[in-house]
Amino acid sequence: MDQNLHTEESPHRSRLALPPALRYPQYRRFWLGSLVSVAGFQMLMFGQGWLAYELTGSAAFLGTVWIASSVSAILLNLYGGVLADRLDMRAMIIITQTANAALIFLLAMLTLFEVVEPWHLVAIAFVVGGVNAFDQPARQALYPHLIERKVMMSAVALQSAIWQGTRIAAPAVAGIVVAVLNTHAAFFMAAAGFFVMALVMFAVKVPPIETRGGSSAAQDLAEGLRFVKDNSTFSILIGMTFFNSFFGMAYVVLMPIFAQDILEVGAAGQGWLLSAGGVGALGVTMWLSSRNDVSRIGAMIVGGATLFGLLIIAFALTSEYLAFYPLALALMLLLGLSNSAYMMSIMSSLQTLVPDRMRGRVMGLYGMTYNIMPLGGGLMGQVADRIGAPFTLALGGLAVVGFALGPALANRRVRNLGSLLQSTEEDRSGALARQG
């Protein structure tokens, strides 16, 4: 085992000890830095959406801002994955985190001095999206090298817990900060989060990682796309993340409309709605992190996606016809729970099955489907201007259900994903035993 991967905890410690992956010092540093950075990202998303709607009062412009960040990310994400397989991932993260901190600081200053204009939001969102296209594949490909494979499920759960946990605190804090101090304060806090991650990465010691050479970036990209195309497990699971991001997660983009115009609860109320989803997501994430049984993971993925889509439809229509805030909070709690259950299962499956040499490119493609969320939300914002946010969101939920009960359920390898994961681990353990 590499000396950088030693643990500091005895395997005989009690259940109250650190989760397995956090016993690795380098991963622990990386995880803590990611926690601060993702909290900053959550605050940026809240402040950006709130300011866009505040400046224009237009759902279409709200969508335009999200489209701007999505287009650049989609165009560059695959190349970000190629570079993650070819270059120093640690250096890539330091550069991208510093660049994002500077961009968000600029937005904070424009807002503070009340000179911010709609085009500023679009331009900065476009550049930040492009930077994230290189940051996300590098992060997703790096952390498996900071641990031993036997604790991969723990590491994936902890990475997911960051996103789910910050969804609880960050939107609520951002809503209060915006209500009390104005939007610029939320942007300053977001910039600080990215800068902290850049500093932390200087302290993370990464073991030697073999990088690719000889072939061109275009050849590497084509090889990654062929790998996913020829493997139905990867193509279906990544397809599910596409439907989740493009159609399902549009509720994040449209939430200012629900908070201001439909439920009439303001910025703080919007924060609590998003935080309720985070509570449900974090709860199921922590539950899954303690489970080693993957025998029914295929059913969890298909069933979780179906439930997620149905809950989106329920949230949209009950908000429109009942406008009962406590019910909206309850539905958001369940919505976060179901979404986390199947998305974490997808990520765990991908990280377990993907070969190390392809990790950056597969995670780049996976990240592209995640980054398509702003584009989906943006286009649905355009539709919402015509038929209303509730009916638009309900159609998105219906699309999620359709893919889950259609292509995903029909794929035999996805239905039997648990057996595939178990056989993969057995083959890997046998190979390691023979090497030993």
395: buried, middle or exposed (CB in 10 Å: 19+, 13-18, 0-12)? middle
pLDDT score for 221? 81
The closest of 154, 163, 219, 147 to 34, measured between CA atoms, is 163
Domain spanning 27-201+218-430, CATH architecture: Up-down Bundle (1.20)
pLDDT at 66: 75
**Spans of all domains in the chain:** 27-201+218-430
pLDDT at 388: 92
Residue 137's nearest CA partner among 91, 83, 212, 200 is 83
The total of other beta-carbon atoms located within 10 Å of residue 260's CB is: 18
Cβ 205 vs Cβ 146: under 8 Å: no
Say if residues 165 and 278 touch (Cβ distance below 8 Å).
Answer: yes
Rg value, the chain, Cα: 21
Average pLDDT for runs of 10 along the chain of length 436: 57 56 89 93 87 82 79 85 86 95 95 90 92 90 82 78 75 81 90 95 84 70 86 90 90 87 87 83 72 73 94 96 94 91 84 80 81 75 89 95 92 84 62 50
- Record the pTM: 0.74
H helix intervals, 57-151? 59-86, 89-112, 118-142
pLDDT score for 424: 65
Residue 121 three-state SS: helix
The pLDDT, as a whole number, for residue 15 is 47
Residue 435's pLDDT is what? Answer: 53
pLDDT score at 220: 81
Task: Give the CA count within 13 Å in the CB-facing half-sphere of 99.
Answer: 17
Is residue 292 helix, strand or coil? Answer: coil
DSSP state of 182: -
